[in-house]
Structures are given as C-alpha cells and as structure tokens.
Structure 1
Amino acid sequence: MENVSLNPEFPNSSCKGLGSYSLRRNEWTNFTIPGPIPNFYIAVPIIYSVICAVGLTGNTAVIYVILKAPKMKTVTNVFILNLAIADELFTLVLPINIADYLLLQWPFGEFMCKLIISIDQYNTFSSIYFLTVMSIDRYLVVVATVKSKKMSYRTYRAAKIVSLCVWTFVTIIILPFTVFGKIHNDWGRLQCVFVFPDPESLWWKASRIYTLIMGFAIPVSTICILYTMMLCKLRSMHLNINAKALDKAKKKVTLMVLIILAVCLFCWTPYHLSTIVALTTDIQQTPLIIGISYFITSLSYANSCLNPFLYAFLDDSFRKSFRKLVECRTAP
C-alpha cells in the first residue's frame, strides 16, 4: 500500500511516484490533517461532482438519442453508444468515490469495493478499445472508398457483435484488478485498494506495466498506424488516381472520430505517463505532487463527460435528432 498521511511533517515521504492505480483508487487520500486543510482537498470533491453531473446528463442524452432516433442507427453510432454506456456507468458510481474521499475510509463493504474497482477499470480500458475499433472501422471505410468496393459485412448487426466482443475482451483484461481489489485496514481505517501478494513492490510494478501496455501502448500504437495508413491512402487517391474524395458525410464522421480520439489521448496520456514516472522515479510526497496527482486523476475522469459535447458540436444528425426528440416530448 502507498497510503498518504497528509500532515505538516509528511511522515510517509518515500513515495513511488505519481501512481496509476493508486490515484484512481484514492490510495493517496488517507488524510490526517492537524494543520490547515490543503486547497485541493476542498476542490477535488467539487470537481468530481461537476464531472458526475455533466457526465450523467450528457451521456444519458447520447444513449437516449441513439436508441430512439431511427436515423442514428449506424455502425459508427453503435460504437459511440457503447462508449457512452461505459462513461455512464462510471459517472453513476462516481458519487461513491466522492463519499470515499470525504469519509477518508471505505464504508461500503468488500462486494461494493470489487464492483467499483471493476467499473473504474472498465472506464480505463473500454474507452480506448472502442476508439480502436472505431479507427479500424474508419480505415476500412477509406480503403473501400479508394477501391470503389462495397462493404457488405459492415452492418449494424456486425457492429453489435464486435461491441460485445470488446466488452468480453475488456472483462478478461480487468479480472486481475477485481481479484486484487480488497478492503485493507490501514491504521484503523478501512480502504478499498489493491492488495498485492509478496513481493508487493514487484506486483505493484507489474500492475502498472500491465495497464500501460494493455490500456495505452497497444491500442494507441494500433490507432496511430491505422490513421497514418489512412492518410497515406487518401493522399495517394488524391494525387495518383484522380478519383473522387470521400463524400462530405464520411469526412465528417472521420473528423469526429479523430477529434474524439484526440480528446481521449489528451485526458489519458498524463495518467499513463505518470505510470512511467512511478516506475522510474522516487518522488517525495509534497502538497504540490499530491495536487498534481489529483489533477491527473480528474483529467482522466473528465473524459467521461466530454464526448457528448463533441457529438453535439460535430454531428449534425445528432443535433437534429436530439432537437426532434425534445420537441416531440414537449409537444402537448
């Protein structure tokens, strides 16, 4: 365990760095504060509450529109729907994380501990893997357009099967975290954290490397390769074969997927970079370092409430469908 006792002397000053799992599971929030309360201790629950409220509202709207509006039944929107469901699940349980933070201990029992850890890890892995699938889909669309071929296999039903496979794959990935998620009695306070067997430091490093590789390096590398190949094909099509470019709708969808990906990387890259720092550097626990760690965690949480606004700004079909559904519900 790497629990922090936050007082003026900072007695637990040998910290392994900006944690990855420890941040997401609040292992740094075991405060004992005889002196002035740090500003971030007050700010963090406010930020989390805003993320929760905005995320629930936005993702609920996305799920509702995609399920109810006939025009939204597209392959890309199946993946966006699953992305919104993953974000919705996380924002639904965020109040429990806020309560854990404010109470300075875990009062909800071991079953809830494992459940919250599982949902937290679903949020960590599912977003990037659904974006990977969306990138593969965009690449296949571009290739088919360049070669003037029809994609008979690219159907709404096939997209639902692929989404189910992604959920199954992510479930397998997060199983170790569910197993290691336990209640730990830390000086009389119950904490919901990862309890690793001996040698604990080795398991600690292995868990961070595992998340870094499976949750960032592999999917992001795949996405970068796909988009590089896609841009090369588009450039080749424009310069060499003098064919028509992708139509306006396909360009917009590709742009939307790219921007969603960029926002996801913006929110999650500091989180995964902190893993590298944690593995390679010994950082002293200071208020500044702990404040930075909470900022990184909040940034990763914020990704769960940003995507709905991207759909609203970038997708005309979504805006029109949302407007139409609202008008139908408010009509006498």
Structure 2
Amino acid sequence: METSSTTPDYYENFSPETSESGTCSSIDINEFGRAFLPMFYYIIFTVSILGNGVVLLVVYKFEKMNTVTNIFLINLVASNIIFTLTLPFQAVYHSSEWIFGEPLCKLVTSAYYLGFYSSILFLTLMTFDRYLAVVHCVVANKNRRSVYAASLSVAVWIISLLESLEYLIRFTVEESQMDGLLCEDSNENQWRTFSFYKQFVLFFLFPLVVFVYCYSRITLTIMRTRMIGKHRTVRLIFVIVLMFFLFWSPYNIILMITEHKDLEHEDCNSVLPYAVYITNNIARLYFCINPVFYTFLGRKFQNHVRGVLMSHTSCLTSQMSVSGSSRSLA
C-alpha cells in the first residue's frame, strides 16, 4: 500500500503511519494514491516502452551500433526500460497490496534503483563525452573509441548494480493490520537516512556539478570557435539533461525538507506526504518523455523516424496511388 512503497526514499521515511506518535492516519494519502497512481503508472509504462522502443529501432536500422554516442544511447535506453518495467508492479501494489511475494518485492525494488542510478550515470557520461568532443576535440579524437565507451558502460552497470543490491537485501514483505501485505524497508531509520544522503550526493549533486561545468565549458567553446555543426547535438543532450533536473529536482528538494522535518520530530499532519507523491510521480514522467526529445529535437532522428514510417506504410502508399490512378482514368 501507499505507506510503504516499493521505493524506500519515496515515502518510507516519513509515512504518517510509521510516525512514533501514531496519531496520524494514512487513510487519506492511501485513497489519494489508489485513485491516482495505478492508471498513471500504466500510461507512463506504455508511452515509455513505445518511445524507447522507437529509439532502439531507429538506432538499429539507421545508425552504426559501435559509435561512442550510440553505445551510450543504447545503454541509456536500456536503463529507462529497466526502470519502466517496475511500474506495472507498482500500479498493482498501489491499487491494493503487495501480492507478488517477497522475491519479487526485492527484485522490483532493486530493478527500480538499477534503472534509476544507471540512467543518471549514463546521462552524466554522455555529458562528459560531449565535453571531451567539443572542448578537447584533439584528445577526444584519439581516445574516443568503441572500446572506451563499452568499458565505461560496463563500469556504470557495475556501480549501479552494486548500489541497487542493498535494496535487494533490505526490502521484505510484512503484513499490516490496516494495509495488508507491504513491500517495505526492514532497516532502521538511521540506515535509511544514510542511504538517502548517499543517493542525494552521488546521484543528484555530483551529476549537477558535472552538467553545469561541462555545459559552461561547451557553451564558451562553441561561442568562441563558432562550431555551428555541434550546436544541434549539444542542444539535444543539454535539453535532455535539463529536463532531468526539472523533473527530479522538486522531488529531491521535498525529500530533503521532509528528512529534516522528520529528524526534528515535526508534526506529520502536513501537505508534505502529498508533495512527495506528486513530485515523485512527476519525476517518473521523465523516463517516458526522455525518448520524445530524441525524436522531435534531433533532425537526424526525425529523418530516421520518417524513414521507418515510410517503409512500414509503403504498401499503403502504393495502394493509394493505384486507387488514385484508377479514379483519374474512370
């Protein structure tokens, strides 16, 4: 149920039902989630699978798979898909209770963070790679090889997997008299607080510093050298990164506020649980909107998508041409 979502930093630390005083009720927030979240998750799941699938299809049909940019892009899409595949389980969970058993409780939670962490790291990696290609192009041309991209991608997956393993260990299924079966964090609050700050620093502040530094240097270099050809690629990745922070920053800020309120034993009768619900699910929209930017902002991707559509509608086009010819002869 809602008081112990499959994402521990989502609601676990400040659930009204888990407050020491026991005076706060989780009924309202549960009803809010039950009415809003399941359909929302199914929509994100559908759009994300379709969008990321189109990106993969376009790269496979029209691009060289072994270029540095495409290796990072394929891995980023894989991260999005891993994250997205957890949403149907959460949709069912938020509509009733956790019905999938303890192994899937652990696996779904771990997969959520595996996709989340790896997506952030691949975005950071793509940003740094653009920085090398634009600011240090001489060095980059010598060192940017497919082996370089593959090695860094493996490193990202290993780091993300190791970070997500703690959730595989920590989460368990417990029964609540009020809410039924819950997939929740079994660790004490102090360990959850440490995990939150670790996630905040490593997967929010660190990428933010890298993005700001790299794009500041990229912008200055482009303005100084007038590298017109680089504008579109740099703009595309910049928008993707910017949207990530627009979607995820409110959630992290709300979590930080709530963490401090929890530490100071603030009263839990507030709008913060609703704010966490809303900002967290706005953040999840990123994984569905992300591939749209590739399709609509990248001219090359637009041409490739157009080619896919034309190839799949060629039969229909030819039939329409024959039909039109018949009408003109009649």
TM-score normalised by the chain length of structure 2: 0.81
Does the 8 Å contact 1:58/1:309 carry over to 2?
yes
Q: Give 2:131's aligned residue.
A: 139
Whole-angstrom CA distance in 2 between matches of 1:302 and 1:315: 20
Whole-angstrom CA distance in 2 between matches of 1:25 and 1:60: 33
| Mapping for residues 45-194 of structure 1, pairs under 5 Å | 45-70=38-63, 74-103=67-96, 105-145=97-137, 151-187=141-177, 189-194=180-185
Q: Give 2:202's aligned residue.
A: 214
The structure, 1 or 2, with the larger RCO (C-alpha pairs under 8 Å, 6+ apart) is 1
Counterpart amino acid of 1:134?
M
Does the 8 Å contact 2:3/2:11 carry over to 1?
no
| CA shift for structure 1 position 22 | 4.0
Q: Give 1:7's aligned residue.
A: none
Could you say which structure has the larger radius of gyration?
A: 2
The partner residue of 1:267 within 219, 223, 247 is 247
| CA shift for structure 1 position 24 | 6.6
Q: Give 2:226's aligned residue.
A: 245
Does the 8 Å contact 1:181/1:194 carry over to 2?
yes
| CA shift for structure 1 position 71 | 5.6
Counterpart amino acid of 2:134?
V
Measured on the aligned residues, the alpha-carbon RMSD in Å equals 2.9
Q: Percent identity?
A: 25
Whole-angstrom CA distance in 1 between matches of 2:153 and 2:16: 35
Q: Which runs of 5+ in 2 are unaligned?
A: 18-24, 316-330
Q: Is 1:323 aligned with 2:321?
A: no
| CA shift for structure 1 position 140 | 0.5
Q: Secondary structure at the match of 1:281?
A: helix
Residues 199-240 of structure 1, C-alpha deviations (whole Å, 9 max, x = no match): x221121111111112111222222222223334445xx2xx
Residues 99-148 of structure 1, C-alpha deviations (whole Å, 9 max, x = no match): 00111x21111111111111110232122111110111111111234xx6
Counterpart amino acid of 2:294?
Y
Q: Secondary structure at the match of 1:185?
A: strand
Paired residues, number: 302
Whole-angstrom CA distance in 1 between matches of 2:259 and 2:213: 27
Whole-angstrom CA distance in 1 between matches of 2:149 and 2:256: 35
Q: Secondary structure at the match of 1:152?
A: helix
| CA shift for structure 1 position 160 | 2.6
Q: Secondary structure at the match of 1:3?
A: helix
Q: Give 2:325's aligned residue.
A: none
Q: Which runs of 5+ in 1 are unaligned?
A: 5-18, 239-243
